[in-house]
Amino acid sequence: MRLTGRRILVTGAASGIGLAIAELFLREGAKVFAIDRSVAALESAGAQLAARGDAAVLAVDVTAESEVGEAMVHAHHRMGGLDGIVNAAGIDLQRSFADMTSTEWDKVLAVNLTGPCLVCRAALPALQESGHGTIVNIASGAALRPLENRTAYCASKAGLVMLTKAMAIDLAPFGIRANAICPGVIDTPMFRASYESAADPRAEFAKIMERFTQKRVGKPEDIAFAALYLTSDESAYVTGSALAVDGGRAFH
């Protein structure tokens, strides 16, 4: 029960990595306020989370500053404060740089980079009040080593890592720690879509696996446990880090 008494807001919590984090945090004793833009997915996830502990859900678009602000008011009212943020909401875009439109670029950066910034800004007063606030941003291994045909995605996730490091400096005087996690390939709907749409899905999957030392796809729980460490007091002397949880791709 490493998070007993902690009040944590998790974005992108209706599926994949965000849902796994919300579930694990509940098992570890936290109160969780789960937000996601998908109302349908939240309906299913909400019941799943409520069965595990003290959880509330709310449909929020993290790119809409007004919605994010309202979500913080709801979270503060529901949980009596806020001790931590996990930004897990994100989208992918497979497009060559030559074919990518400015609209696509703007959309990816809005969700993957501006969204976490808006959430952290809105949560800042509550995190300052907490006195031991934590921020965990789910970036990507693509922030450390680029991928082909994913210019916008790579740029957004690299920006998120640097945003995390910059926040770690600025927020240290308030007792707030900020860290990022850089996952490898994780078994989520977003990852499956990245190769199942290929002309030869099996060949595409094999090509992806060549990048990794560990020849397996990670589980959402692999990232959830890393987020647990960075949110708990066990990482009290860790801030500004970009933790690669990627089956060895960062050095392979």
Is residue 242 within 8 Å of residue 139, measured between CB atoms? yes
Lowest mean pLDDT, pick from 86-90, 181-185, 187-191, 235-239: 187-191
Q: Which long-range contacts (CB under 8 A, 24 or more apart) does 105-108 make?
A: 105/151, 105/152, 108/152, 108/153, 108/156
Sheet holding 7-11: strands in order across? 55-59, 31-36, 7-11, 84-87, 134-138, 177-183, 242-245
What average pLDDT score do residues 139-157 get?
A: 95
Predicted pLDDT of residue 252? 52
Which residue ranges form the domains of the chain, and what is each CATH number? Answer: 7-190+219-242 (3.40.50.720)
Distance of CA 167 to the CA centre of its chain: 16
Q: Which residues are catalytic?
A: 153
Q: Residue 104, CB half-sphere, CA atoms under 13 Å: how many?
A: 15
**Residue 73, class by beta-carbon neighbours within 10 Å (0-12 exposed, 13-18 middle, 19+ buried)?**
exposed
Residue carrying structure tokens 């009290």? 236
Indicate the pLDDT class of residue 96, thresholds 50, 70 and 90: very high
When the pLDDT of each residue in the chain is averaged and rounded to a whole number, the result is 94
Residue 251 in tokens: 């050095």
- Helix residue spans in 115-150 (DSSP H): 115-130
Task: Please give the average per-residue pLDDT across 24-39, as a whole number.
Answer: 97
**Cα–Cα distance for residue pair 2/25, rounded to 1 Å:** 9
> What band does 73 get if pLDDT is binned at 50, 70 and 90?
very high
What are the pLDDT digits (tens) for 51-63?
999 999 999 999 9
Sign of the CA dihedral 223, 179, 33, 57?
negative
pLDDT of amino acid 153:
97
Q: What is the DSSP string of 81-112?
A: S--EEEE-------B-TTT--HHHHHHHHIII
**More confident site: 175 or 209:** 175
